[in-house]
Amino acid sequence: MTGTPERTQSVPLYLASTSPARLALLRQAGIEPLLVAPEVDEAAAVAEAEQALGQTLDAASTAQLLARLKARAGAEALPPQAQGLVVGGDSVFAFEGAVHGKPHTAQRARERWLAQSGSCGVLHSAHWVIDLRDRSVPVADAPAQGEVRSALVEFAELDADEIEAYVGSGEPLLVAGAFTLDSLGGPFIRRVVGDPSTVVGLSLSGLRDSVRALGVPWTSLWNRAGRQP
């Protein structure tokens, strides 16, 4: 008689990000992460890295740097008994040779949409995973994996009223490139070439690759009702 397959042991996942979109993505993939808010001064971190390198960071490198710093900050904020994987993420938009993070102000978001309406750019989303299953290992020495995934984004042509309404909603102010795919900005995106979850803020296929590279079965992260193996 064939026995019941042995269930994969669950591994907790900590999300070192305050992004509602990343949280929603993980939930849709069957994972209810434990949340930890990373304390990272993004502008200062990028400026310090560029000074050390003697050159400006490109969009992909910026995203990877910040994802790594967020994961590290999140891991260091956890109590010593907390075990599992810590994931940090960041997204940066590249448009006409410029690196665009969050616009933060309505004026900057408006300027970006006036420029990118009817055009296209590349959204880079990075993640960094720190393996804290063995807490005898210091965070700085813990195994880690990460990568950057990129997707081409083609925008519809927006009229002035649409731009004003979208900027006025407040949504574009706190997202890379001043747009979303999974919310109000979705109808303004004509086409995505690449992994759609990259544009939302976290490549799920890329995260799976990193998790598996650390020796953790992806399905061991499933912990939402109705999604467990």
Residue 227: pLDDT band (50, 70, 90) is low
N-to-C CA span, the chain: 21
**Domains: count for the chain:** 1
Domain of residue 18, CATH code? 3.90.950.10
Domain extent, residue 171, equals 13-218
- Closest to 72 measured CA to CA, from 59, 86, 90: 86
Task: Give backbone dihedrals phi and psi of 223, rounded to 5 degrees, phi first.
Answer: -145, 5
Q: pLDDT at residue 161 above 80?
A: yes
Residue 4 lies in a domain: no
Percent of the chain with pLDDT over 70: 94
Residue 227 lies in a domain: no
Mean pLDDT of 23-45: 95
Q: How far apart (Å, rounded) are the C-alpha atoms in residues 228 and 220?
A: 8
Say how many C-beta atoms besides its own lie within 10 A of residue 63's C-beta: 28
Q: Where are the alpha helices (DSSP H) in 3-105?
A: 20-28, 42-53, 59-77
**Which pLDDT score is estimated for 8?**
67
Residue 41 lies in a domain: yes
Residue 91: pLDDT band (50, 70, 90) is very high
Residue 228 lies in a domain: no
Residue 122 lies in a domain: yes
Percent of the chain with pLDDT over 90: 92
Which one is catalytic: 41, 58, 90, 134?
90
Residue 2 lies in a domain: no
Average pLDDT, the chain: 94
Residue 160 lies in a domain: yes
With 0.75 as the threshold, say if the pTM is over it.
Answer: yes
Please say if 90 is a catalytic residue. yes
Residue 164 lies in a domain: yes
